[in-house]
């Protein structure tokens, strides 16, 4: 893993520590990298009535978009009940990411061996709906 990815992983770990997940116990942290090199952190935020719960990925994305960011390079996601769990982004987050990110946007995950794995958005979200533009 190169230095930038290590930094991104650290930021995702840092974000995960702030997760508010009293109902599932499933803490997720995300670190979203812009094309200019800025990093936005996000953690999952749960709610007692469940539906308002927001995933870490969308928290990071919406923070960034609300700050005017539109160009993204990748996102590091860490999550689960244990340190070695792997957390793929849910379908809603894949759709939200596909609104702003190109097919070559990268999704960085840490596997159970502690190695990281890279997926492209098109692998996880092929044929995404973008037709209304």
Give catalytic residues, as residue numbers: 57
DSSP 5-44: HHHHHHHHHHHHHT-B-TTT--EEEEEEEETTS-EEEEE-
Q: Which stretch binds ligand THU (CB under 6 A): 64-72, 84-92, 97-105, 112-120?
A: 84-92
Cα–Cα dist 28/71, whole Å = 23
Residue 50 or 132 with smaller CB distance to ligand THU: 50
**# chain residues binding ligand THU, by CB under 6 A:** 15
- Strands 72-80 vs 27-34: parallel, antiparallel or unpaired: antiparallel
Location of structure tokens 């769990």: 85
Rounded distance between C-alpha atoms, residue 133 and residue 130, angstroms: 7
Per CB under 6 A, does 47 bind ligand THU? no
Looking at beta carbons only, is 30 or 37 nearer to ligand THU?
Answer: 30
Identify the residue among 18, 26, 65, 106 touching ligand THU (CB under 6 A): 26
41 binds ligand THU (CB under 6 A): no
- Indicate whether 44 belongs to the interface with ligand THU (CB under 6 A): yes
């Amino acid at each position: 893993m190169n230095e930038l990815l290590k930094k991104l992983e650290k930021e995702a770990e840092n974000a995960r520590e702030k997760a508010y997940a009293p109902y599932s116990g499933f803490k997720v942290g995300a670190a979203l990298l812009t094309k200019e090199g800025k990093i936005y952190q996000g953690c999952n935020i749960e709610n007692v009535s469940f539906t308002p719960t927001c995933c870490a990925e969308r928290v990071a994305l919406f923070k960034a978009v609300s700050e005017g960011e539109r160009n993204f390079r990748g996102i590091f996601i860490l999550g689960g009940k244990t340190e070695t769990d792997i957390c793929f982004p849910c379908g809603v987050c894949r759709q939200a990411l596909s609104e702003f990110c190109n097919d070559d946007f990268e999704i960085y995950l840490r596997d159970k061996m502690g190695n990281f794995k890279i997926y492209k958005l098109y692998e996880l979200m092929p044929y995404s709906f973008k037709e209304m533009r």
